[in-house]
Amino acid sequence: MEPLVLLVGVAVAVTFLFGGHVARLLTQRARLRRQVDRLPGPTAFPVLGTTHHFLLTPRADKLKMYNELIKKYGPVFRLWTTSIPDVILTKPQHYEAIINSPKHLEKSGFYKFMFPWLGTGLVTSSGQKWHSHRKMITPAFHLSILDSFIEVFADNCAILVDKLARRAGGSGFDIFPYITRCALDIICETAMGVAIHAQENADSEYVRTLSDIVELTAHRRERIWLHSDFVFYNTSAGRRYKKCLDILQGFTKEVIQKRKAVLSREMKIDHVSADEDSPCGIKKKAFLDLLIEIASKDGKLSDEEIREEVDTFMFAGHDTTASCVSWTMFMMGHHPEIQEKVFVELSEIFGDSQRRPTMKDLQGMKYLDRVIKETLRLYPAVPMIQRTLGEDVRIDDCVIPAGTNAIIMIYFAHRNPEHFPDPEQFDPDNFLPERVQGRHHFAFIPFSAGPRNCIGKRFALLEVKAMLAFVLRKYKIRSLEGREAVNPMPALVLKPLHGITVALTPRT
C-alpha cells in the first residue's frame, strides 16, 4: 500500500501547488477564445483551426486567398492557426493603436523560424534587448554616415549597368536576379565592410546559400508539420538549412574577427576615422565597424550579438531593396509616360554629364521618390507584419484580448479605397504633398510605423534611388508581361512568382 499512498500524496501535493495556476490558465484561455470568436471568420476545426484554408494553397495564391477572406469577413476578422488566434486588420484606424503603442512591441510566433539564423537581432528581438539595441544602433543611420555610403552605391550600380548592357537591345530577360545581386553587393560592403562580388560571381557559395536559406525559411513557415524542430531537422530541407546556417554564420563570424583585428591593430578604437586619411586605409565605416566600436566602449554587445545584427541587416537590407527596385522597374515598364517624367527629372539634375549622384542629387529626385512610394503602395516589400498583443485592445465594439496575434495586412491596407480612391491604378500623384496631408497618416506604412518602424528606411530609399537613376539614365525599360501575369508572392518579402521579364533599349 505504501507506493499507492505515496502516489496519492504526490498527486495531492501537485494539485495543491499547481492546480490554481492551471485553473487560471484554463479560465484565461476560455476568455480569449470567447472574445476572439465574437469576430467574424471562417469555421474553425479542432486542432487545425482555420489552417485548412491555407495548407493546400500554393504560395503564389496566398494573397488571393486573403483577398477572398477580407471581402467575405473584413475589414476585421479572426483566424485560428491551430490553437493560436490571429486577428486580421486592414484599416489604419484599427491597427494604429497597436503598432503605435509601446504595449505591443513583441513580434508574434510568425518570426520564430528566423531565430536559428538571425537570433534576436532588431527584427526578431523584443523587450529590453530590443530597446537597448535600437538605441545603440540608431546613430549608425545618421545622414552623415549614409552620405559615406553613396560611393558604395555608385560603384556597384556602375557594375549593374555594365552587366545589363549585355542584355540590352535583345529579347526580354528576368531582371530580378541582376537587381538582387547588386543589392547584395551593396549591403555586404556597407554592413560588413567586405566585397563579395556577387555580380561578378553569381554562383558563389555565399550568394547561393543566402538565397537558399530565405527560401527554406519561407518553406518551413508555410507547412505546420515542419514547425517542430525534430521533424524539420530530420527532413532534407532541414539538413540543408543546417548547412546554410554553418556557411552564413561562419562567414559573418570570420569577418567580425578579421575586422576587429584590423581596427584594434591599426587605429585607436575610440577615434575610428571615416575619411581617406585613416591610418589603416578604411575610408568609411561599415555597419560592423560601428557595432565593434560600441562593444569596445561599453561591452554591451557580445560577438554573437554583433553577428545577429549583421546577419539581420544582410537579410533585411538586400531582399527588400531588390523587391522594391524590381517592382518599380516593372511598373515604369508599363507606364512609359511616367518613366519619361523620371528621365526628364534625372536630365535636369545631371544634364549631359555622366557624373555619379551625390546625396544632394538623390534627395532632389522628388518625382522619382513619388514613383517609388506608389510602387511600395501596390507592392510593399513586406506585405504583412504581426504583433502579439500585450494587453486588451478595443476595436469598434469588440475587445481583442491580450495574447492574440494582430496581423496588419499592409498589402491590402494600401489598397483601401477610403484612402486611395482608385486603388489598383498606378498614380505617383497619390504622394503629392496635398494628397498626403489629407490622408490618414497610417494609410501608407511600407516600412511599418511607430516605435518598431524600419531603422534602415532612409538607407533603403537612397539605395533604391541610386539603382534606378543609374539604370534609367542608360536604358528605357519595357515590361513584357501584364500585371495579372506577374503574380506577387508573399515569401519573407514580396517577390514575383517567375521573375520580372523586361526588355532594355539603350538611350542615345
**Into which CATH architecture does domain 31-506 fall?**
Orthogonal Bundle (1.10)
Using the predicted structure, report yes or no on whether residue 362 has a pLDDT greater than 50.
Answer: yes
pLDDT tens digits along 315-361: 988 999 999 999 999 999 999 999 999 999 999 999 989 999 999 99
Residue 77 to residue 88: CA distance in whole angstroms: 5
Q: What is the share, in percent, of the chain residues with pLDDT greater than 90?
A: 66
Residue 93 to residue 378: CA distance in whole angstroms: 20
Mean pLDDT of the chain: 88
Q: CA 174 from chain center: how many Å?
A: 22
pLDDT reported for residue 277: 43
Residue 269: which pLDDT band, with cuts at 50, 70 and 90? very low
59-80 mean pLDDT? 92
The grid cell for 57 is: 494553397
The grid cell for 427 is: 498614380
Residue 452 to residue 131: CA distance in whole angstroms: 10
Using the predicted structure, report yes or no on whether residue 419 has a pLDDT greater than 70.
Answer: yes
Answer for the pair 495, 180: CB distance below 8 angstroms, yes or no.
no
Better-scored residue on pLDDT, 482 or 30: 482
Using the predicted structure, report yes or no on whether residue 208 has a pLDDT greater than 70.
Answer: yes
Answer for the pair 339, 476: CB distance below 8 angstroms, yes or no.
yes
* Domain ranges across the chain: 31-506
Looking at the chain, the number of H-run helices and the number of E-run strands are 20, 11
DSSP letter for 103, please: G
pLDDT reported for residue 74: 87
Residue 217: which pLDDT band, with cuts at 50, 70 and 90? very high
Give residue 99's identity as a one-letter amino acid code: I
